[in-house]
A and B are shown apart, each in its own frame.
Chain A
Amino acid sequence: MDMKTQTRSTDPLPADGEPVAATRWKRERERYTDWCTLGFCILGGLLVGITVLALANITMAELADPAHLIKIATSSTVIESILLTFGAGASAVLLLIVFGTPLAYILARSRPSRFKGVVESIIDIPLILPHTVAGLLVYLLFMRRGWLGAPLSDIGLAFEDALPGTIVAMLFVASPFYINSMREGFEKVPVHLENVARTLGAGTFTMFRTVSLPLSLRHMYSGAILAWGRAIGEFAGVIMIAYYPFIISTLIYYSFTTDGIRASRSIAFTVILVSFGVFYLLRRMTRHLGRYDDRV
């Protein structure tokens, strides 16, 4: 046995019991600095820092007067508005799942063409428009004299200053988030899997239900959560068609212009807490959902 091997295999222990080689390696690691990673961390940290600072700012202000915060947070107006916002957002997402999922699948499986490019651009329009413009588009279409608003109000479905108006505005602005995420999910499902399912006896819908959809489930969840987040955060798009009933953004704006900064800040802080809790719970609940070993 040469000396080198001997040193490696016996690794004398210093007084504190840590092998010499391990201590040396630790020292080496301490001496080595990856400047690139450090730079990235600092730049990213600054971005996160702004959010943390803003949250700390509002938290400090609110915790200075907990009684006021509790009073505002437990008021029926705020609770109803939060429930209404979350409910309207969930309804918009539900509609997106029903109508957006088939569209995303068709887009994922169709060959590139000019027509497909046009459809994809149309889907992305809400992403590039100012929110007021998006709201105006929805208003013009769904107002009482609008192309869709008029016939629908004839059968008793009104959109102006009504919950359906809120939902349709949310649906419009959130749709690209869901459709694009879902399309990406479907694109990642190998066509061979679908082909095999077909030859084993599955019709197109059975194949979709048993293969394509389960394998895209994660994208469905992340798309739905993104779309829901976008929907409940919408303000300008919604107030154009439905100033009433108050969704939470409208309520904060209303409170800010009528009762001042203190009242609106407490509502905002309540919304932050509830949204953070709900999103955290959703992420926790769905973290194992739709995961599979794709080494196949």
Chain B
Amino acid sequence: MIEFDRVSLALGSFRLKEISLTIGRGDYYFIVGPSGAGKTVLLETIAGLHRPESGRVLLRDEEITTLPPEKRRVALVYQDYSLFPNMRVIDNVSYGLRVQGMRKKEARDEVVPLLERFGIAHLADRYPGTLSGGEQQRVSLARAIAVKPDILLLDEPLSALDPITQERFIGDLRRLHREDGLTIVQVSHSRREAHLLATRMAVIIDGYLVDEGKAGVVLNTPRSRDVATFVGIENILDGTVTANEDGHATVDAGGRTFEAMTDAAPGEEVSLCIRADDIILAVDGDRHSSARNTMTGTVVSVVENGPVAEVKVDAGVVLTAVLTRRSVRDLLLVAGTAVTLSIKATAIHVIRASS
């Protein structure tokens, strides 16, 4: 639907460098990256608010690199909501229809169902300054949807909301994507949001697009060590391949030997990525398992976090596992407990240093 072909642009000292990506119709596309990486600039470039220095932007195979924002049929929702403070809620929501030529009364009538849908009909005559953060966010979303955009652009829409409002808003976004079939591009640095909503995603670091693809693939099999760190892979171990038989490799990492699936040749430097929830812990020394990586260790710490607990185990290298709190209770895990760790060879994602 929208395609960036080697797009570069400079804003002061910041640069976006040769970004190429494709956002398909109906995608829920996440742009993630650390602060200052260029995510918002990329989002604003999709909106047409910045003109690239080089490269092309295509919309439905037509070049729109220099097309002004008002002609792109995209709507933008900022993290700070950006409601017009001098207009009532209903005038904020109907603003897009008004500037596109609709009469005031018609535009107001048109957006009433939208206000009802987002549960803000009772706020219609209020000014934005009197609304809570969650209410302002729903108004800004309704205002963006009112113009029936082809693409909805969201700049960290959840970051300023409390957890309960976040859940509600995530529900609103999911409905917009699934029921209305809207193409959504969202900037975020939350892995959880990406897990919950994204179908595809791109990772931007220092103005470079360093990974792009299906959300599950980027999150679970990142292309580089930087991406792995950013998408929150809990255990990343640097090591060297010592043997490889038909893709079944042995890797020395952190003083331990791991078995993993990779084409990396013996002697090659690699990074092993192990998700915390792919590590199985057992007590009583049960080492009989189909998992190719089994090792003993001692629990260093147990930190409960909602329904789960993060358990750090020293097994020569310190590895982090995530268990349910019930498992922690059943296994009587506390600091100092001796445990056996099991990790399937297929659960280890190998990043080759040369990639």
Q: Which of B44, B72, B129, B149 contacts A195 (CB 8 A)?
A: B44
- Quote the shortest CB–CB distance from A198 to chain B (angstroms): 4
Within 8 Å by CB of B95, from A111, A200, A203, lies: A200
Contact A293 B100, beta carbon cutoff 8 Å: no
Q: Are B130 and A293 in contact (CB under 8 A)?
A: yes
- Interface residue range, chain B: 35 or more
Which residues in A have their C-beta under 8 angstroms from that of B49? 195, 198-199
**Residue A211 is within 8 A (CB to CB) of chain B in the complex:** yes
- Is residue B75 contacting chain A, with contact meaning CB distance below 8 A? yes
Of chain B, the residue at the smallest CB distance from A209 is B99
Whether B84 and A199, one on each chain, are in contact in the complex, defined by CB atoms closer than 8 angstroms, is no
Chain A residues with CB under 8 Å of B136's CB are: 296
Residues of A contacting B: mostly: helix
Query: With contacts A196-B76, A197-B99 known, is A296 near B85, CB below 8 A?
Result: yes
Which residues of B (313-347) have their CB < 8 Å from a CB of A?
none
By the criterion of a CB under 8 Å from any partner CB, how many residues of chain A are at the interface? 24
Asked if B76 and A190 sit within 8 Å, CB to CB, the answer is: no
Is the CB–CB distance between B129 and A296 below 8 Å?
yes
Does A32 lie at the interface of the complex (its beta carbon under 8 Å from any beta carbon of B)? Answer: no
Residues of chain B with a CB closer than 8 A to A206's CB: 99
| Docked CA distance A192–B140 (Å) | 12
Q: Smallest CB–CB gap between A147 and chain B, Å?
A: 38
Closest residue on chain A to residue B127 by CB atoms? A293
A294 CA to B70 CA, complexed, in Å: 26
Render B135-168 as a binary contact track against A, CB cut-off 8 A, 1 for contact. 0100010011001010001000000000000000
Question: Which chain B residue has the least Cβ–Cβ distance from A190?
Answer: B82
Task: Report the bound CA distance from A206 to B136 in whole Å.
Answer: 24
Q: Which of B48, B86, B100 contacts A214 (CB 8 A)?
A: B86
* Chain A positions within 8 Å of B128 at CB level: 293, 296
Quick one: which of B76, B81, B83, B130 contacts A199, CB cutoff 8 A?
A: B76
Q: Which residue of A lies closest to B86 (CB)?
A: A292
- On whether the beta carbons of B85 and A292 are closer than 8 Å, the reply is yes
**A206: shortest Cβ distance to chain B, in Å?**
5
Chain B residues with CB under 8 Å of A119's CB are none
Q: Is A201 an interface residue (CB 8 A)?
A: yes
Asked if A225 is an interface residue, CB under 8 A from chain B, the answer is no
Q: A201-B96, A292-B127, A296-B128 are in contact. Are A193 and B72 (CB under 8 A)?
A: no
Q: Which of B205-247 contact A (CB under 8 A)?
A: none
A163 within 8 Å of B by Cβ?
no
CA distance A252 to B136 in the complex (A): 58
Contact code string B75-116 (vs A, CB < 8 Å = 1, else 0)? 111101111111000000001100110000000000000000
Q: Most chain-B CB neighbours within 10 Å: which of A199, A206, A211?
A: A199
Q: Would you call A293 and B85 a contact (CB within 8 A)?
A: yes
Cβ–Cβ contact A199 & B153, under 8 A: yes
The answer to whether the Cβ of A24 comes within 8 Å of any Cβ in the partner chain is: no
Residue interface mask A197-231, B partner, CB < 8 A = 1: 11111111010001100110000000000000000
Q: Tell whether, in the assembled complex, residue A199 and residue B72 are in contact, meaning their CB atoms are under 8 Å apart.
A: yes
A294 to B128, CA, bound (A): 9
Chain A's nearest CB lies how many Å from the CB of B92? 10
Q: Does the CB pair B147–A200 fall under 8 Å?
A: yes
* CB within 8 Å of B: which A142-196 residues: 190, 192-193, 195-196
Question: What's the nearest-Cβ distance from chain B to residue A279, in Å?
Answer: 26
**Residue B47 at the chain A interface, CB threshold 8 Å:** yes
Q: Is A4 engaged at the interface, CB distance under 8 Å to the other chain?
A: no
- Indicate if the CB atoms of B70 and A198 lie closer than 8 Å: yes
Q: Are B99 and A294 in contact (CB under 8 A)?
A: no
Task: For B140, list chain A residues within 8 Å (CB).
Answer: 196
Whether A199 pairs with B85 at a CB distance below 8 angstroms is: no
Residues of B within 8 A of A31 (CB): none
With a CB–CB cut-off of 8 A, which chain B residues contact A204? 68
CB of A71 within 8 Å of the partner chain:
no
Question: Is B69 an interface residue when CB atoms closer than 8 A count as contact?
Answer: yes
Q: A292-B85, A296-B128 are in contact. Are A192 and B80 (CB under 8 A)?
A: yes
B interface residues with partner A (beta carbon < 8 Å): 12, 44, 47-49, 68-70, 72, 74-78, 80-86, 95-96, 99-100, 127-130, 136, 140, 143-144, 147, 149, 153
Residues of chain A at the chain B interface (Cβ within 8 Å): 111, 190, 192-193, 195-204, 206, 210-211, 214-215, 292-296
Known: A195-B69, A195-B76. 7 other contacts (CB 8 A): A193-B84, A195-B78, A199-B76, A202-B99, A293-B85, A293-B128, A296-B82
